[in-house]
Structure formats: C-alpha cells, structure tokens
C-alpha cells in the first residue's frame, strides 16, 4: 500500500487538509497525518486536529507522496520549516509526488520546486510562487508536482494525487456524488 504524508502546521486550511485526507483514505492509501511542530495542530478556523505522528518521528524515505494543505498562516509556517523542507525534498528526490494546495505552493517555491513549472494556487498569492507559469486552473500537474487552487479544488486535487500514484479515484468520487468527468 502506498504511503502519503500530509503535513499540518498551525493555521492550515481545514477543508483542504481533512477533505484531501478523507478522499485519499477512501482510495485506500496509507495516509499519515504529520504535525510539523505538535501532535495537536490548530487550523485557520480554530479547529484542532490530532496528528498521527510528529513530522520529526517519520522517515520521509518511507513515503510515496507528501501533501501540503494551504491556509494562513499555515502555508508560511510550512514554508519556514527546515523539517518540512527536508521531508518534501526527500520525497521528491526519491521520485515521489509533492502536492500543495491554495497558498502552500509558497513552500514549494521556497524549496525550489516551482521553477519553470505550471502551477496553480490561491488567487492573489500567485506572485509569490516563484518563476513559474501560474495557470489559475482548479488543479495542475507538472512533473510530479501537483497543485490545487483552493478549498473548492479538494476533490480534483485529491483525485490528481491518487491518479499520479496510479490509482484512479473515479469510483470514490462517484460514491461521494462528485460531478466529475474523471
């Protein structure tokens, strides 16, 4: 079973995190919720989430993908963390998928992963995504980098991650009554 790490930092966007985790678990991935600094992380709208592990307790080499939810200041907290940077680059450099939604491509830009790529994200933040081609699409996939525009993109974002890991998500989306063409 392929493993996916979802990293939460204080100020994360709850819909993006929980929706993505839920859909990926329904797709039968082993999804581990990793707290960047704490086992209990508070979202941007004051919802507290209990994480499975601290990020520092995990070996990024054990994962096929890493997901960064957006939100503020969650995205900047992810961007400013050396531990998050190490985890993301380790997964990517071993051939894994890196996914970020909403404002979280800020972290990918800081880690050097947006250069020359097609990237989407939250409107108004795109000027901080580095030297990339901002498309504004709901989701974007470019060379193992998957990005989503914002909370409403969760279904397509999670499906793109699932499909990049070679598991179609169409049955799961249909079961959730999502009106998709996937």
pLDDT tens, residue by residue, 63-89: 999 999 999 999 999 999 999 999 999
What domains can you pick out in the chain, each with its CATH number?
A: 3-175 (3.40.50.880)
User: By the 8 A CB rule, do 156 and 139 touch?
Assistant: yes
Q: Is the pLDDT of residue 94 over 60?
A: yes
Pairing of the two strands 40-42 and 48-50: antiparallel
Q: What confidence category does residue 182 fall into, taking pLDDT thresholds of 50, 70 and 90?
A: very low
| Per-residue model confidence as pLDDT tens digits over 19-70 | 999 999 999 999 999 999 999 999 999 999 999 999 999 999 999 999 999 9
Q: What distance lies between CA 147 and its chain's CA centroid?
A: 8
Q: At 6, give phi and psi (nearest 5°).
A: -110, 115
Q: Give catalytic residues, as residue numbers.
A: 102
Residue 52, classified by CB atoms within 10 Å of its CB into exposed (0-12), middle (13-18) or buried (19+), is middle
- Assigned token pair, 52: 């499975």
- Tens digits of residue pLDDT in 129-149: 999 999 999 999 999 999 999
The set of residues, in sequence order, having a beta carbon less than 8 Å from that of 168 and lying 6+ positions away, is 162, 182
* pTM for the predicted model, two decimal places: 0.96
């Amino acid at each position: 079973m392929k493993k996916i790490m979802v990293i939460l930092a204080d100020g994360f966007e709850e819909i993006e995190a929980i929706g993505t985790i839920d859909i990926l678990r329904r797709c039968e991935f082993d999804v581990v919720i990793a707290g960047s600094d704490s086992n209990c992380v508070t979202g941007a709208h004051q919802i507290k989430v209990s994480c499975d592990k601290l990020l520092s307790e995990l070996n990024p080499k054990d994962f096929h993908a890493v997901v960064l939810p957006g939100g503020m200041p969650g995205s900047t907290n992810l961007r400013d963390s050396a531990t998050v940077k190490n985890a993301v680059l380790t997964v990517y450099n071993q051939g894994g998928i890196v996914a970020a939604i909403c404002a979280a491509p800020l972290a990918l830009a800081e880690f050097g992963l947006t250069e020359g790529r097609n990237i989407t994200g939250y409107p108004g933040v795109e000027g901080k995504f580095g030297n990339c081609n901002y498309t504004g699409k709901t989701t974007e996939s470019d060379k193992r980098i998957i990005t989503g525009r914002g909370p409403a993109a969760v279904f397509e974002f999670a499906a793109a991650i699932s499909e990049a890991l070679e598991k179609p998500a169409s049955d799961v989306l249909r079961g959730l009554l999502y009106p998709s063409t996937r």
